[in-house]
Amino acid sequence: MTLISFVVPAYKVQGYLRQCLDSILDQSFRDIEVIAIDDCSPDSTGEILAEYAA
């Protein structure tokens, strides 16, 4: 089966990052990987990404 990669650049997006990640993870297609990149965002973006990575 084909693997789909979602690349999510993240900088100052704490307000809608959860919605973005939940939308990706709620897809019916299950062969996915999520690559999220935090560019040292000053808000809690990194903490949210760490929460989802756990």
Reported confidence tier of residue 28, pLDDT bands at 50, 70, 90: very high
pLDDT > 90? residue 22: yes
What is the distance between the alpha carbons of residues 19 and 6, in angstroms, rounded to a whole number?
14
Higher pLDDT, 22 or 30: 22
pTM: 0.87
Return the CA Rg of the chain.
Answer: 11
CA-based torsion, 21, 53, 6, 45: positive or negative? positive
